Amino acid sequence: MAPRSPNIQAFERNLAAAESWLSPFNGYGPDNFLVGRPEFSFEEYRGWLAERFPPNRFKQLQEKMDLPPLYAVGAFIQALAQNPGIEEELHRLGTAAHVYVGTGLGNIDTIGGEAVRLAKAQSRWDRFWAERNPEIAAWRARVPEERIAVWPDAPVPPETVANPEDRREAEDAWWHYWAGRSADLGAYLRELAAIEGLAVEGEVEAAKMSVLKEKQRRLVQLQKTWGFPTPPWQAVSANLVWNIQNTPAAQISMLGRITGLAFAPVAACSTFGVSLKLAIDTIQRGEAKAVVVGATDPPPHPLSVGAFYAARVISSDAAVSKPLTEMRGTHVAGGSVVWIVGDLEHMQGLGFKPLGMEPLAVGVSSDAGHIITPSTEGPTAAMEQAFAASGVAPEEIGTWDLHATATPGDFKEVATMRALVPGSVLVTARKGTFGHGMSAGGGWELTAQYLGYERGTVLPTSTARRELNAHIAQVHDLFAFDEPCGFPAGAAGKLSMGIGGINACVISRPWKS
């Protein structure tokens, strides 16, 4: 589930075109940002759900779930369709089937929307009770010296604040202060506490409904008595709880009837690599025969685009910024990626065939340095760990995929790579194509690498040879550009470097025949 790519077929077809999948954001009205906006319709999965669950299940998911869980569910359903019989096997395996699907920014649309609703409700609430507080009139009737003596912590009156932006904050502080001193609000809260304090007595199942009805009756009467607006604690939807970080993994476990461990690895841009490592380790330890791994990100949102801009890592000139070129920054993207990995002998015994390449090992490390500027030591440690665990020597690598975000860190990443692998390695960098999915991006890049091997072709990138940065070319000059080329013999590497200095390096090789 990626920009311009609602399914794996579209993803592969779009990769072959060597075009950028980015589009204008316009999340602030007209602006200069390009983003990777997922092409997605949950309606496409209604039939699958209708065959397995009561009719209201689709509506529940659509109304309660933010887009990251829905993206992940859609990608999971697609993965099941590509492997007939795998759905039944995941259920049959019981606790030997796991789900490790992580997120990057999480459900930012739900969080942002509920925060706005809460702020508006709090403002209305404070003003309602403050306007009924006679202390305000008493405060205004006093001279400044008396005001300070009686109300030493009172905020400044908003009408005395000249700056319009500051005045708005001053109004919120003013009403909040006087609402907190309202005798009427205190009386209301005491009445509310008495209602909410009604307890279930006697036989639980029968009594609880009676208590709920009585509470509701009294709450309606309380509202009639006071005429207050919606309390701020009632303005926030329960969807905030239903859309925590583990929700995508949990929804996949429920819809796939998978009863093994389900949780969300969260490792920023290295999330997919970390999830894959956990799956490989779990299978090798014999704790699982199959693991659903993946990552899912929200569509570009004003909060995320603004945060990337404030961090000085995003391009904002209305043009595509490509890795390894002018270093103008990356582009925010959303979507998901889901793989099903399994014990080779077990899955082959059931007739399933492996695709792409074999992920041999994942090396992981932390920079323990800067929150966003990558080090040399951290990625090197992850790469060395991956080589050692996979049994692959650096000189056996034929192709390598970079994290490359079209920022100055690209130069250091290429230099770090070349300190370990030879100049004969064909290097790819794809964030100029689909943008930067915080957690899913690494999975998209690894999927592109595996699809290329299946075709025998390194699928093109969006960068032309003439655009390659001259300083990077001095360090390494063998890159996949905007024309397809043959897939080199040997193993493949892929490095991800996440915010916070979290690194994941995946070493893969062709399946042995």
- Residue-wise DSSP of 98-145: EEEEEESS-SHHHHHHHHHHHHHHHHHHHHHHHHT-THHHHHHHS-HH
Instruction: Return the ∠ at Cα 177 (arms to 172 and 182), rounded to 5°.
Output: 125
Task: Please answer whether residues 69 and 248 qualify as being in contact, where contact means their C-beta atoms are separated by less than 8 angstroms.
Answer: yes
Q: Which residue stretches of 366-463 are H helix?
A: 377-390, 409-418, 431-434, 441-455
Residue of 256, 496, 334 lying closest to 6 (CA atoms): 334
Structural domain that includes position 142: 111-235
Residues 139 and 201 in one domain: yes
Task: Please answer whether residues 289 and 86 qualify as being in contact, where contact means their C-beta atoms are separated by less than 8 angstroms.
Answer: no
Give the residue carrying structure tokens 């791994």: 293
User: What per-residue confidence (pLDDT) applies to 95?
Assistant: 97
**pLDDT digit string, tens, across residues 386-430:** 999 999 999 999 999 999 999 999 999 999 999 999 999 999 999
Phi, psi (rounded to 5 degrees) for 209: -70, -35
Residue 1 in domain: no
Cα–Cα distance, 401 to 234 (Å, whole number): 48
Task: Please answer whether residues 405 and 323 qualify as being in contact, where contact means their C-beta atoms are separated by less than 8 angstroms.
Answer: yes
> How would you class 492 by CB atoms within 10 Å of its CB: exposed for 0-12, middle for 13-18, buried for 19 or more?
buried
User: What per-residue confidence (pLDDT) applies to 87?
Assistant: 97
Task: Return the DSSP state at 439.
Answer: T
Q: Which helix (H) or strand (E) holds 332?
A: strand 332-333
User: What per-residue confidence (pLDDT) applies to 210?
Assistant: 80
Q: How far is CA 312 from CA 189, 324, 326, 329, 408, in A?
A: 46, 17, 15, 8, 11
Residues 253 and 354 in one domain: yes
Residues 94 and 116 in one domain: no
**pLDDT digit string, tens, across residues 62-100:** 999 999 999 999 999 999 999 999 999 999 999 999 999
Handedness of CA 21, 433, 334, 58 (dihedral sign): positive
Residue 336 in domain: yes
Cα–Cα distance, 222 to 216 (Å, whole number): 10
User: What per-residue confidence (pLDDT) applies to 243?
Assistant: 93
Cα–Cα distance, 422 to 395 (Å, whole number): 6
Residues 144 and 64 in one domain: no
Residues 38 and 159 in one domain: no
| CB neighbourhood size of 471 (10 A) | 12
Residue 352 in domain: yes
Residues 427 and 479 in one domain: yes
Task: Please answer whether residues 77 and 42 qualify as being in contact, where contact means their C-beta atoms are separated by less than 8 angstroms.
Answer: no
Residues 73 and 125 in one domain: no
When computed from its CA atoms, the radius of gyration of the chain, rounded to whole angstroms, is: 28
Residues 327 and 413 in one domain: yes
Q: Which residues of the chain have pLDDT under 50?
A: none
User: What per-residue confidence (pLDDT) applies to 211?
Assistant: 80
Residue 266 in domain: yes
Q: Which helix (H) or strand (E) holds 298?
A: none
Q: Which residue stretches of 181-270 are H helix?
A: 183-196, 204-226, 232-235, 239-242, 247-255
Cα–Cα distance, 65 to 62 (Å, whole number): 6
Residue 119 in domain: yes
Residues 121 and 249 in one domain: no
Please list, in sequence order, all residues whose beta carbon lies within 8 angstroms of the beta carbon of residue 312, skipping any fewer than 6 positions away. Answer: 329
Q: How far is CA 281 from CA 361, 504, 511, in A?
A: 9, 14, 19
Residue 3 in domain: no
Question: How many structural domains are present in the chain?
Answer: 2
Residues 152 and 267 in one domain: no
User: What per-residue confidence (pLDDT) applies to 208?
Assistant: 73
Q: Which of 197, 216, 235 is the last residue before a domain boundary?
A: 235
Residues 206 and 335 in one domain: no
Question: What order do you get walking across the sheet with 426-428 strand by strand?
Answer: 357-366, 502-510, 491-498, 397-401, 426-428
Residues 147 and 33 in one domain: no
Cα–Cα distance, 7 to 200 (Å, whole number): 51
β partners of residue 38: 3
| Tokens found for residue 39 | 């092409």
Residue 141 in domain: yes
What CATH number is given to the structural domain containing 53?
A: 3.40.47.10
Task: Please answer whether residues 184 and 133 qualify as being in contact, where contact means their C-beta atoms are separated by less than 8 angstroms.
Answer: yes
Q: Which of 235, 261, 281 is the last residue before a domain boundary?
A: 235
Task: Please answer whether residues 373 and 409 qualify as being in contact, where contact means their C-beta atoms are separated by less than 8 angstroms.
Answer: yes
Cα–Cα distance, 165 to 483 (Å, whole number): 52
Phi, psi (rounded to 5 degrees) for 378: -65, -55
Q: Which of 179, 206, 235 is the last residue before a domain boundary?
A: 235
Residue 2 in domain: no
Please list, in sequence order, all residues whose beta carbon lies within 8 angstroms of the beta carbon of residue 268, skipping any fewer than 6 positions away. Answer: 104, 438, 439, 498, 499, 500, 502
Cα–Cα distance, 57 to 45 (Å, whole number): 11
